[in-house]
Every structure is written in structure tokens, then in C-alpha cells.
Amino acid sequence: MARILEKTMDVGIQEWMLTFDDLNLEEDFANFFYPCLEWLESEGLIRVRSYHRTMGGRAQGSVQNVHITAFGQSVLRQEVNITGENEMLSETVKNVSKEPGYYSKFGDFLGSLLGGFTKSIGS
């Protein structure tokens, strides 16, 4: 998820295609490519124009125009403390992309952060 978010932050709003190979991950992560995209989209963090799945493997194909939503931008601007130091979630995403083992519970953390953030907005 962090690599998808990082790539999306870097590209911004423009025409583009994202493939699993663009994330520079080991093949072990291929099974998570589409499920992570779909989860991020269903949580409202990103918007995906279209999915172009092809045969030949679980992560074959591409997605077109992955963009961070306004909600996603507000979540990424939240200050978090995973490693003992406060930093913006967008910086955490970049750090997770560089050192995935260091933030081994990032997925659980992101899910709980979204739950709390959504609850606070609804109040």
C-alpha cells in the first residue's frame, strides 16, 4: 500500500498507467497488487479510473489514472507516531517504501488510523 501511495503522490494528477512492475517489489507481493488498490479505493484514499487486468498472473495488467482523493490528502497530512517520533503520514509512506521491514505493521496502522479519522470527521 505504501508503494502505491508513494507512486501516486509522486505522479500527482495527470494521465498515467500503474503496473505492479512500477512498484519495484519482489514477486512475492504480486498477489497483493489489485487487492491493495481496491482497498485503498474502497476506503476513499485513491480514485482509479479503470482496471486493465490481463491473463498471465495475479498482478498482470495495469490501472489507469490512480489519484489521491481530497480525503486521502487530508489523511496523509495527519501527524502520526509509529517509530517514537512524530511525522506526517505522507513521510511515513515514503519511509515505508524505502525500508518496509522497519514499519512492519504499517497496514494495520493505516487501517486503524482511517477508522479513527473517519469517526472523528463524522462527529
Between residues 43 and 57, which one has the greater pLDDT? 43
pLDDT reading at 119 higher than 50: no
Angle formed at CA 44 by CA 27 and CA 30, multiple of 5 degrees: 5
Residue 81 CB coordination number (10 Å): 9
123, pLDDT greater than 70: no
Q: What is the pTM of this model?
A: 0.76
Residues in contact with 8: Cβ distance below 8 Å, sequence separation at least 6, in sequence order: 18, 46, 66, 67, 68
pLDDT range class, residue 34, cuts 50, 70, 90: very high
